[in-house]
């Protein structure tokens, strides 16, 4: 996350995220980027342990979910970070 960016390098996107708390989930190293993405969208997201006192935001509460391609399609394989907005339980 960065602030004060005026010029976005080619191949990158700039997105303005509202202030929130996020749970960051990272896959293990997997053979392909497709395999890593499949795991993050299903296994990792569904089974992610929420910190005590927090829940995942619902679609209407916090619709933002960010997938960051971190180290994908390398000789070691691929892995992704998945940013899930969370909120304290009322």
Interval 22-77: pLDDT, tens? 888 777 888 887 887 776 666 666 677 889 999 888 655 565 566 666 677 788 88
Tokens of 57: 């935001």
* DSSP bridge partners of 83: 24, 66
Q: Compute the distance between CA of residue 90 and CA of residue 29 in angstroms, rounded to an integer.
A: 36
Interval 2-11: pLDDT, tens? 678 888 888 8
Which pLDDT value is given to residue 81?
Answer: 77
DSSP state letter for 30:
B
Q: Are the C-beta atoms of 84 and 22 separated by less than 8 Å?
A: yes
Give me the residue spans of the domains in the chain: 21-88
Which pLDDT value is given to residue 25?
Answer: 79
Which pLDDT value is given to residue 84?
Answer: 79
pTM, 2 dp: 0.61
Which pLDDT value is given to residue 43?
Answer: 65
């Amino acid at each position: 996350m960065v602030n004060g960016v005026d010029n976005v390098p080619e191949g990158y996107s700039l997105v303005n995220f509202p202030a929130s708390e996020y749970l960051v989930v990272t896959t293990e190293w997997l053979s392909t980027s497709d395999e890593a993405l499949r795991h993050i969208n299903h296994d990792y997201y569904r089974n992610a342990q929420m910190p005590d006192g927090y829940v995942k935001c619902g679609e209407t509460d916090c619709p933002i979910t960010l997938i960051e391609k971190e180290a994908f399609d390398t000789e070691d394989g691929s892995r992704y970070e998945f940013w899930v907005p969370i909120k304290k339980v009322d």
